[in-house]
């Protein structure tokens, strides 16, 4: 019996080392075209979304005056500083579904005179409107990012949206521009990005694509360009794989009447009825979530192909202005507030999705992760005075080097990550060249068990130096907590070798790596 056991053990050891040897001898070949770069990765792909939902605005960005942290008014400055660090380029507000029940005139002027409303979309809580237009635009000014405002098509009127634009953007003499001045802002805000409704196929009015297309044209006709501000109007686009919605909008709405068409897609770990825990999940659930995240590639390709039929010059942007993983809320929290923890799985999903956007930046020119603070796949979680940065935040920190850089095309055949009888690509990647000529490669290893060797040559590029950063955890369920806020954070990565213009890299299991090559 001992002999049999010994032989089995020896066989397993040999198999293990043969497997390691095989991987080492057969690295994945990655080819990057360093000379052809015609497409810029628009920085607004790295945008974010903040809705009047749960603790995103109230008790997130906008805190009680008694809380003992650095503030400007009631704006929480540690969050502002964190978002400045990652060069957050764009912030979408006030929704989401909330946008189509929000009347902007409720949120201007003295806070004591603002009406109280009911947020019927998210928990039937009282909306006191203390955070309104001026507060949002002060927030974006502090961060140094572009505001993206979603207008009310569901319960609003073209006149209401037109008035909001005039209030914000007109520098001449009118009752609305004078009202803005009386409210403390003499110069126009010059807000360019405007969503004409939100999810008009669902919470924004349950419209058909033909009916919405007509509504869009009606609203857009009254959204005026005031001197100094040209509007970038974004039509409410499809829910996931509703390709008919995209087809109808592109067919019915002239391309010169919209800057972009939106797309919403959420990674649901286990379906709408039971989305699964944010922190307690099996490898099977992890595998399923990553596979669903990868569906974004197909969505972008197919919606882009439809858009190409009507807009071959790619003037209309595909705007994925809601994306991310959506799980069950944390136990003991309000189900309507959508508060979830953020694990290493979320970081893998964020990095994978951003790689997809980078690789399709000829059409995808704006995207917004849902949502920035305390809601869904948040960058920041707060608990009174405490604040932590999630693994997803660190992905955006690592990937900011792609903003406004030239996209580089790459080709490779990824090895498989296999779970039982199912397979998905283990590796995904994107690359760019910045204005100083440095090349950045972002690599994701979705496989939680094995490292993967990658070999690449940069023909036509003289390599002088290489540096790297890595985001890694031992377990896909690992999280940052208020007790251990830095449990998962970027570290220096140096598991690579240079040989002339060739680079060999070993990407650890369950990791995100960004290389800088000069």
Eight-state DSSP code of residue 121: T
> How many C-beta atoms lie closer than 10 Å to residue 37's C-beta?
16
CA 264 – CA 236 distance, rounded (Å) = 9
Q: Is 199 a catalytic residue?
A: yes
Collapsed DSSP state (helix, strand, coil) of residue 316: coil
- The radius of gyration of the chain from alpha carbons, rounded to an integer in Å, stands at 24
Q: What are phi and psi of 177, to 5 degrees?
A: -70, -35
Of the candidates 219, 422, 447, 457, the one whose C-alpha atom is nearest the C-alpha of residue 344 is 447
What is the token pair recorded at 407? 């996209």
Of the candidates 42, 43, 80, the one whose C-alpha atom is nearest the C-alpha of residue 61 is 80
CA 32 – CA 439 distance, rounded (Å) = 10
Element (H, E) at 138: helix 133-143
474, 487 Cβ separation under 8 angstroms = no
Q: Is 322 a catalytic residue?
A: yes
Active-site option among 51, 146, 199, 285 = 199
* β-strand partners of 428: 444
Please state whether 124 falls in left (phi above 0), alpha (psi between -120 and 50) or beta: left
- Please spell the DSSP secondary structure of 7-66, one letter per residue: HHHHHHHHHHHHHHHHHHHSPEEEEE-SS----B--GGGGEEE--SSTTSTBTTTB--TT
Distance between first and last Cα of the chain = 59
28: Cβ contacts below 8 Å, ≥ 6 apart: 412, 413, 414, 415, 427, 452, 453, 454, 455
363, 318 Cβ separation under 8 angstroms = yes
Of the candidates 482, 240, 479, 447, the one whose C-alpha atom is nearest the C-alpha of residue 347 is 479
Active-site option among 51, 101, 285, 322 = 322
Catalytic residues: 199, 322
């Amino acid at each position: 019996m001992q002999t049999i056991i010994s032989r089995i053990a020896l066989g397993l050891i040999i198999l293990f080392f043969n497997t390691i040897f095989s991987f080492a001898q057969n690295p994945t070949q990655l080819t990057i075209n360093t000379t052809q770069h015609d497409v810029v990765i628009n920085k607004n792909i790295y945008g974010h979304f903040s809705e009047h939902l749960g603790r995103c605005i109230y008790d997130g960005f906008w805190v009680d005056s008694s809380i003992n942290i650095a503030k400007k008014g009631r704006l929480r400055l540690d969050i502002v500083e964190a978002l400045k660090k990652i060069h957050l380029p764009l912030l979408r507000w006030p929704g989401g579904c909330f946008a189509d029940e929000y009347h902007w005139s409720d949120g201007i002027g003295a806070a004591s005179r603002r009406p109280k409303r009911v947020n019927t979309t998210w928990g039937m809580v009282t909306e006191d409107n203390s955070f309104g237009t001026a507060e949002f635009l002060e927030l974006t000014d502090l961060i140094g990012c572009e505001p993206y405002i979603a207008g009310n098509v569901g319960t609003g009127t073209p006149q209401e949206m037109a008035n909001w634009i005039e209030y914000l953007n007109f520098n001449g003499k009118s009752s609305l521009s004078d009202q803005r001045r009386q409210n403390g802002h003499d110069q126009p805000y010059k807000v360019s990005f405007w969503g004409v409704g939100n999810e008009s196929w669902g919470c924004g009015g349950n419209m058909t694509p033909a009916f919405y297309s007509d509504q869009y044209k009606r609203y857009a006709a009254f959204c005026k360009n005031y001197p100094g501000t040209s509007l970038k109007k974004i039509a409410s686009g499809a829910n996931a794989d509703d390709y008919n919605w995209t087809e109808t909008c592109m067919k019915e709405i002239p391309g010169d009447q919209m800057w972009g068409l939106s797309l919403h897609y959420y990674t649901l770990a286990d379906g709408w009825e039971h989305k699964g825990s944010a922190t307690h999940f099996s490898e099977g659930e992890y595998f399923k979530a990553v596979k669903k995240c990868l569906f974004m590639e197909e969505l972008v390709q197919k919606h882009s192909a439809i858009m190409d039929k009507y807009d071959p010059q790619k003037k209309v942007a595909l705007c994925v202005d809601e994306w991310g993983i959506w799980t069950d809320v944390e136990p003991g929290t309000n189900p309507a507030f959508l508060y979830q923890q953020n694990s290493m799985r979320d970081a893998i999903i964020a990095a994978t999705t951003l790689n997809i956007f980078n690789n399709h930046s000829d059409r995808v020119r704006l995207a917004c992760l849902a949502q920035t603070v305390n809601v869904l796949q948040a960058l920041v979680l707060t608990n009174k005075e405490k604040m932590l940065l999630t693994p997803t935040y660190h992905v955006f920190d690592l990937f900011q080097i792609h903003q406004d850089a030239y996209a580089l095309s790459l080709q490779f055949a990824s090895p498989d990550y296999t779970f039982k009888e199912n397979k998905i690509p283990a590796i995904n990647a994107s690359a760019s060249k910045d204005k100083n000529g440095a090349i950045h490669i972002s690599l994701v290893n979705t496989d939680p068990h094995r490292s993967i060797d990658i070999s690449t040559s940069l023909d036509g590029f003289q390599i002088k130096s290489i540096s790297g950063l890595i985001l890694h955890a031992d377990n896909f369920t690992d999280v940052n907590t208020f007790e251990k806020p830095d449990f998962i954070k970027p570290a220096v990565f140096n598991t690579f070798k240079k040989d002339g213009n060739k680079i060999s890299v070993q990407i650890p299991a369950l990791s995100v790596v960004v290389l800088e090559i000069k």
